[in-house]
Amino acid sequence: MSPDALLGSAPVQPTTVGRRGLGVVLGCGSALAGLLYFAVAGTLLSPLLLWPRTRERALAVLTAGARRLTTLERRRRTAFFRDHFPPPYEASGRKALRYLAARTYTGLLCAVVLALIGFGAVLAVIFLVALFRGRIGWADLLGQAILGGALLFLGVQGLVSLYAADARLARECFGPSERELLQRRIDELATSRAAVVLAVDTERRRIERDLHDGVQQRLVALAMLLGRARRGGRTPEQAEALLVQAHQESQDVLTELREVAWRVYPSALDSLGLREALGGVAERCAVPVRIEDGLLTGPLPRAVETAAYFVVSEAVTNAAKHASAGAVSVQLALSGPVLTVHIRDDGVGGADPAGSGLTGLRSRVEALDGLLHIDSPLGGPTTVIAELPCA
């Protein structure tokens, strides 16, 4: 995953060369301001920094000024280079001081390179004027052109390197470092793995409960009916009635087994695809379900289809059983590499996002680096939106 995705930053908009060039020139001026700040503040605060009793307070004053200058640098990067940094993140005082010192060095070095390039441009104009006036020959101009071209190449390479260093310093100061990003990603994966394990365990318990409280009880009732029909002393009419009950009970057992199997994993996903599987959800639901999948074009990864199916199935089941909904609408849209699943019901609302069912859905979605939004105020309606990356 890219650093921008981990930071949650907005997409970087393109900037013009003129805007970036102006930002570089202003960066040279801000580097001069940083040099003056270190020279003046460092000179005034150096006695206090050397004395242990006043060191902490003097360092706090020094870092406070450095924070103001780094804030200006952040605004410069945002205004002229369209950089977007995470708003909640704030660099420490020592980190701000290190950034300001490094930024001052690179900015002043960039100013020196720009001055040398400008001086070379002036010399080039002077040589051209001298050539047209006949003061120098073509041989002298060729030698100067080769030397000037080499120096210009080195100067441009230096500017490119300093430009990249400026951007790298800004990312390290105003956003988490690569080490912090990696640690954050590791923590997210560990949390996601633990949530998936918990969701699988919860699902296993639910299946066991469904089999024990539903299918097993019906099988016991079926066995009792067959046992009563086999016992002697009954008229043919009584035996026939018991067999009819047993036949009906066997049909109910098959229906419930089919429901349990669909909740575990719908075979229609493999054979018919997501549309048909969701159609089965709508047919089995006790309330009307309207599914709109016109914006769903092209094949989807199997993991994404499975997650989308369970999000819809769980949301529709909750709406029918707990929300007293009269209708449910489901919309699926594929926008770029993200599948958006939008479920809305007109029930009483009040769904608990921390409940076992919704927590399991959140874990399933987050395992794919997706997002699950739940809005269920008291009185309704309840809206569940899942965003599933397909790439």
At 114-164, the pLDDT tens digits run 999 998 888 888 888 887 887 777 777 788 788 888 888 888 898 899 999
Q: Which of 354, 340, 349 is nearest to 383 (CA)?
A: 349
Same domain, yes or no, for 246 and 286? Answer: no
CATH number of the domain where residue 324 is located = 3.30.565.10
Q: Whole domain around residue 229: which residue ranges? A: 205-264
> What ranges make up the beta strands (E) of 223-366?
289-295, 328-335, 338-345
Same domain, yes or no, for 282 and 346? Answer: yes
Same domain, yes or no, for 172 and 211? Answer: no
Same domain, yes or no, for 140 and 286? Answer: no
Query: CB neighbours of 364 closer than 8 A, spacing ≥ 6?
Result: 196, 199, 307, 310, 311
pLDDT at 275: 80
Q: Where do we find the tokens 């000024």? A: 65
Let me know: does 264 contact 211? Beta carbons within 8 Å: no
Same domain, yes or no, for 237 and 295? Answer: no
* Residue 78 falls inside a structural domain: yes
pLDDT at 356: 65
pLDDT at 300: 80
Same domain, yes or no, for 108 and 128? Answer: yes
* Residue 36 falls inside a structural domain: yes
Let me know: does 170 contact 83? Beta carbons within 8 Å: yes
pLDDT of 236 > 70? The answer is yes
* Residue 51 falls inside a structural domain: yes
pLDDT of 217 > 70? The answer is yes
Q: Which two tokens stand for residue 308?
A: 């989308």
Average pLDDT over residues 264-280: 74
Q: Which of 263, 295, 294 is nearest to 280 (CA)?
A: 263
Same domain, yes or no, for 122 and 223? Answer: no
DSSP 336: T
- List, for residues 47-78, the tens digit of each pLDDT value: 888 888 888 888 888 888 888 888 888 888 88
Same domain, yes or no, for 273 and 336? Answer: yes
pLDDT of 14 > 60? The answer is no
Between residues 75 and 192, which one has the greater pLDDT?
Answer: 75
* Residue 352 falls inside a structural domain: yes
Same domain, yes or no, for 246 and 321? Answer: no
pLDDT at 113: 92
pLDDT at 109: 93
Same domain, yes or no, for 48 and 158? Answer: yes
- List, for residues 320-370, the tens digit of each pLDDT value: 888 788 888 888 888 878 888 899 988 888 877 777 667 777 877 887 888
Q: Which of 9, 311, 369 is nearest to 189 (CA)?
A: 369
pLDDT of 108 > 90? The answer is yes
Burial 184-212 (b: 16+ CB within 10 A, else e): eeeeeeeebeebeeebeeebeebeeebee
Q: What share of the chain is helix, strand, coil (3-state, %, to 5)?
A: 70, 10, 20
Confidence of residue 36 (pLDDT cuts 50, 70, 90): very high
* Residue 192 falls inside a structural domain: no
pLDDT at 112: 93
pLDDT of 111 > 80? The answer is yes
Average pLDDT over residues 91-104: 84
pTM: 0.48
pLDDT at 107: 93
State the Cα–Cα distance between residues 218 and 252, nearest whole angstrom. Answer: 8
pLDDT at 11: 39
- Looking at the structure of the chain, the number of domains it has is 3
Percent of the residues in the chain that have a pLDDT greater than 90, as a whole number: 7
Same domain, yes or no, for 165 and 222? Answer: no
State the Cα–Cα distance between residues 324 and 321, nearest whole angstrom. Answer: 7
Phi first, then psi, for residue 134 (nearest 5°) are 80, 15
